[in-house]
Amino acid sequence: MFSWCIRYWVLECSNRVFTKGSKEKNNTMNTPLFPGQQEGERVLYTVRPHVFAEYVSYVKVGAIALLLLVSFAMLGKVSGALAVGGMLLGLGVFILGAFIVNRMFDGQVAYITDRRVVRFEASNLFAVNSRALSWDDVVKVKTYPPNFLWRAMNVGTVSFHAKTTLVSIDSSNQKNTITNDDLDLHHVFYYRDLGNYVDKLLYTIKHSPEEVKDFRPFVAKPTGQRY
């Protein structure tokens, strides 16, 4: 019952996630959604971090600012200037931290296409890094939640395991090296459903590639309400 209540609340409060993605769904081949989109490449789903992940970051920033305020308020008993300085410092930390959180989350977006998965992630305030993994290089897909609270909200991580993650460097001695070619999407709403969807897409690409052109986009809604 508790889990159902949380999921219902999340569904009611997640309009921002779908509002952001609604404009991106109605794309045409002549209007690329992201830099580097190939000609004829279909975007099947646009992935953005769940809005509550951003809210949690705001809360953390607020907690740090509050801690500064309380600390300087206690020191304010010795000097009033310290109390005023602490208030200004706490306010500045909150404003700057909230700005950074907003910019970082706005720079995080990924695209599931009929050819690959592409992720854009802000590394700092001024740069956005991109990573792509073609479906030919994906061995399997894993899904898992950070903890039981995120699981109750149906929010988790979708991990694309690349076959180049384990590379043989000396076949005679059976020596291998581990590389960091896996691609993770964090705070994904309906993460398990998206993982199952990608598994089905991979199977179709491998066994019936001619049917990929008719593969329907993923819809982040409960089963039975998607199409």
- Report the percentage of the chain scoring pLDDT > 90: 52
| Per-residue model confidence (pLDDT) at position 180 | 65
Kindly list the domain boundaries of the chain, sorted by start residue. 2-6+38-49+114-214, 57-102
Angle at 126 between CA 121 and CA 129, to 5 degrees: 30
What average pLDDT does this structure show over 133-149?
92
Residue 144: DSSP 8-state: E
**How far is residue 227's CA from residue 217's CA, in Å, rounded to a whole number?**
10
| Per-residue model confidence (pLDDT) at position 2 | 42
E strands along the chain, which residues?
Answer: 43-47, 109-113, 116-122, 128-134, 138-144, 155-162, 166-170, 175-178, 183-189
* Cα 146–chain centre separation: 13
- Say which amino acid occupies 149: L
**Residue 113: Cβ-neighbour burial (10 angstroms; 0-12, 13-18, 19+):** buried
More confident residue, 77 or 98: 98
Q: Is the pLDDT of residue 119 over 60?
A: yes
Token pair 């993460």: residue: 191
Structure confidence at residue 65 as a pLDDT band (50, 70, 90)? very high
Q: Is the pLDDT of residue 152 over 70?
A: yes
What average pLDDT does this structure show over 123-145?
91
**How far is residue 222's CA from residue 219's CA, in Å, rounded to a whole number?**
9
Residue-wise pLDDT for 154-167, tens only, equals 999 999 998 875 55
Is residue 208 left, alpha or beta, with left meaning phi > 0 and alpha meaning psi from -120 to 50? beta
More confident residue, 62 or 223: 62
CATH number attached to the domain at 2-6+38-49+114-214: 2.30.29
E strands along 114-219, which residues?
Answer: 116-122, 128-134, 138-144, 155-162, 166-170, 175-178, 183-189
Other beta carbons within 10 angstroms of residue 39's beta carbon come to 7
Question: How far is residue 215 from each of residues 65, 112, 151, 200, measured CA to CA in Å?
Answer: 48, 12, 28, 10
Q: Is the pLDDT of residue 89 over 50?
A: yes
Residue-wise pLDDT for 173-219, tens only, equals 544 444 567 899 999 999 999 999 999 999 999 999 999 989 999 99
E strands along 33-127, which residues?
Answer: 43-47, 109-113, 116-122
**How far is residue 38's CA from residue 139's CA, in Å, rounded to a whole number?**
23
